[in-house]
């Protein structure tokens, strides 16, 4: 039986199902706890579930706590051999509203793989900024106009936050590289304890691109070093995805409606320069340039 | 120990989504050009709607291996074009549905 199936309600070209099926390909049958958000809405309406694995949705902020409870129960019942426990939660659910529950799950050392589906805003409610929205992005709560050039603050560094909790395996991935997601999900499960995998996932509606641009745009995020793909094991950086001929950030920004204003806004140049500085810093920090 | 069974609230059955046919969402649909298809499976791993499979053609190649090609299940395809974009062998092209022509 498939672990995730057709007939779900995601927008054509959405990255979420690519991320989910690639993770499940790596984990095999597992217990899934899902936070409120697009994935939950598109896959779990009553009578229309797209899941082929045990699945629970509770509320927006508590998926890490729900997963921790499932893991503790499986342990107490001697049923850990029935499969790993996996969380799927959006960037808003992870970096903002659910960060307390996530911190607790990490801190108590639960044997859980936590997957953050990072589409860089609260997309299910129509593109509001989250802690993982990048600078310059035009969202309904950071509207580009006379006052703002889009979001001002940088992306919250969830990788460092996970590492500071001594999560055993911490990695980033992208829907542009599904086989890499599968490998990372599989690798994560070799570590007993909390694991964090953050997957850059295209939202065609929120980012303002056509379905067929989804994968090329996701690829550009990696090729510009705005979304570095890194892997830590027990606190050590063990692998990164190298970049051949790193591209200027404009190439990633231009096709997306959420960044379009940057090319005419009086503060646009400044924001683009800031994004380029972030990309350069990523490349240096992780040694991305080949 | 006896297995716990708790059923509270709404309980769904696996893969009930299969009864939701999303194939009429898109304005375009992919066509596989079988002679170009190398059965690399890239379209399969990327398709967000899990509606492409590699299927045997019934033929065997020079080395005696069973030939496979990508096959789209149009019951679910939303016409996003992802398969066509990721294919490195120009084996999938998008066509406009009759209904949306002109
Ligand atoms: C406590 C609470 N506040 C607000 C909402 C409304 N809400 C539902 S989904 C959602 C956005 C989810 O954003 P994210 O976690 O990034 O997931 P995405 O939909 O982007 O995948 C919001 C704000 C809610 N369901 N519960
Ligand atoms: S709104 Fe965005 S994240 Fe939600 S289903 Fe559509 S493309 Fe996917
Ligand atoms: S057009 Fe999109 S939904 Fe249809 S088969 Fe290709 S990738 Fe899948
Ligand atoms: Mg989101």
Question: DSSP label at A60?
Answer: S
* Parent domain of A166: 16-286
- Alpha-carbon torsion B43, B48, B49, B50, what sign? positive
CATH of the domain at A42: 3.40.50.970
Tell me whether residues B45 and A6 touch, CB distance under 8 A: no
User: Residue B80 and residue A162: Cα distance in Å, rounded?
Assistant: 34
Question: DSSP label at B71?
Answer: E
The residues near A239 (Cβ < 8 Å, ≥ 6 apart) are: A230, A231
Number of domains in chain A: 1
Structure tokens at A94: 């992870």
Structural domain contains residue A209? yes
Nearest CA residue ID for atom 4, ligand 2: A38
What pLDDT shows up at residue A16?
A: 99
Residue with tokens 């705005």: A226
Structural domain contains residue A9? no
Minimal C-alpha gap between B67 and chain A (Å): 23
Nearest CA residue ID for atom 11, ligand 1: A122
- Rounded to 5 degrees, φ, ψ at A168 are -75, -35
What pLDDT shows up at residue B6?
A: 74
Count the Cβ atoms, other than its own, within 10 Å of residue A164: 12
Count the Cβ atoms, other than its own, within 10 Å of residue A120: 27
Radius of gyration of chain B (CA): 18
What residues in B contact A50, CB-CB < 8 Å?
15-17
Nearest-10 crossing angle of helices A99-108, A63-76: 30
Cα–Cα distance list, B83 to A165, A199, A235 (Å): 39, 20, 37
Write the DSSP string, B7-63.
--S--PPTTGGGGS--TTS-SEEEEE-TTT-----HHHHH-TT--EEEEEEEEE-TT
pLDDT > 80? residue B7: no
User: The whole model's pTM is what?
Assistant: 0.97
> What stretches of chain A show up as alpha helix (H) in DSSP?
16-27, 38-43, 63-76, 91, 99-108, 158-164, 178-188, 204-207, 214-223, 250-253, 268-286
Structural domain contains residue A198? yes
- Rounded to 5 degrees, φ, ψ at A226 are -75, -25
Domain limits, chain B: 22-100
What pLDDT tens digit does each residue of chain A (290 aa) get? 799 999 999 999 999 999 999 999 999 999 999 999 999 999 999 999 999 999 999 999 999 999 999 999 999 999 999 999 999 999 999 999 999 999 999 999 999 999 999 999 999 999 999 999 999 999 999 999 999 999 999 999 999 999 999 999 999 999 999 999 999 999 999 999 999 999 999 999 999 999 999 999 999 999 999 999 999 999 999 999 999 999 999 999 999 999 999 999 999 999 999 999 999 999 999 999 99
Structure tokens at B60: 């065997």
User: Residue A11 and residue A39: Cα distance in Å, rounded?
Assistant: 11
Model confidence at B4, pLDDT cuts 50, 70, 90, reads: confident
User: Residue A6 and residue A51: Cα distance in Å, rounded?
Assistant: 10
What pLDDT shows up at residue B1?
A: 54
User: Residue A166 and residue B54: Cα distance in Å, rounded?
Assistant: 42
Q: Are strands A31-34 and A85-90 parallel, antiparallel or unpaired?
A: parallel
What pLDDT shows up at residue A186?
A: 98
Residue of B nearest to A76 (CA): B1
In CATH, what number does B22-100 get? Answer: 3.30.70.20
- A253 versus B5: the higher-pLDDT residue is A253
Query: For B46-97, how does the pLDDT look when each residue is reduced to its tens digit (9 = 90+)?
Result: 999 999 999 999 999 889 999 999 999 999 999 999 999 999 999 999 999 9
A7 contacts chain B (CB < 8 A): yes
Strand partners, A31: A85
Average pLDDT, chain B: 94
- ipTM of the predicted structure? 0.96
What pLDDT shows up at residue B102?
A: 78
Tell me whether residues A14 and B48 touch, CB distance under 8 A: yes
Structural domain contains residue A108? yes
Question: DSSP label at A170?
Answer: E
A210 contacts chain B (CB < 8 A): yes
What pLDDT shows up at residue B12?
A: 83
Nearest CA residue ID for atom 2, ligand 3: B80
* Residues near ion ligand 4 (Cβ under 5 Å): A 90-91, 119, 123
């Amino acid at each position: 039986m498939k672990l995730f199936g057709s007939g779900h309600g995601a927008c054509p070209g959405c990255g979420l199902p690519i991320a989910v099926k690639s993770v499940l390909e790596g984990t095999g049958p597992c217990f899934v706890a899902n936070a409120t958000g697009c994935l939950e809405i598109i896959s779990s309406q009553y009578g229309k579930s797209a899941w082929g694995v045990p699945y629970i949705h509770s509320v927006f902020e508590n998926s890490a706590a729900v997963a921790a409870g499932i893991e503790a129960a499986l342990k107490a019942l001697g049923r850990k051999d029935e499969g790993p426990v996996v969380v799927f939660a959006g960037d808003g659910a992870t970096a903002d509203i659910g960060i307390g529950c996530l911190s607790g799950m990490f801190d108590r050392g639960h044997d859980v793989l936590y997957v953050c589906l990072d589409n860089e805003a609260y997309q299910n409610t129509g593109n509001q900024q989250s802690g993982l929205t990048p600078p310059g992005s035009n969202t309904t709560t950071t509207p580009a106009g006379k006052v703002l050039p889009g979001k001002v603050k940088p992306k919250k560094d969830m990788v460092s936050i996970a590492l500071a909790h001594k999560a055993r395996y911490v990695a980033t991935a992208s829907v542009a590289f599904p086989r890499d997601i599968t490998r990372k999900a599989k690798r994560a499960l070799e570590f007993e304890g909390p694991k964090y995998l953050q997957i850059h996932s295209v939202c065609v509606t929120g980012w303002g691109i056509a379905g067929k641009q989804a994968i090329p745009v996701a690829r550009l995020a990696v090729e510009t070093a705005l979304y570095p793909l890194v892997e830590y094991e027990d606190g050590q950086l063990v692998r990164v995805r190298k970049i051949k001929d790193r591209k200027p950030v404009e190439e990633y920004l231009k096709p997306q409606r959420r960044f379009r204003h940057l090319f005419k806004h009086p503060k646009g140049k400044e924001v683009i320069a800031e994004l380029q500085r972030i990309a350069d810093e990523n490349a240096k920090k992780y040694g991305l340039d080949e | 120990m006896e297995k716990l069974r708790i059923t509270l609230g709404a309980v769904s059955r696996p893969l009930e989504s299969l009864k939701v046919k999303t194939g009429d969402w898109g304005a375009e649909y992919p066509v596989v050009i079988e002679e170009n298809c190398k059965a690399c499976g890239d379209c399969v791993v990327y398709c967000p709607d899990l509606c492409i499979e590699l299927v045997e053609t019934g033929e065997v190649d020079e080395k005696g291996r069973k030939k496979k090609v990508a096959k789209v299940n149009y019951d679910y395809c939303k016409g996003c074009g992802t398969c066509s974009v990721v294919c490195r062998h120009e084996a999938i092209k998008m066509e406009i549905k009759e209904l949306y022509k002109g």
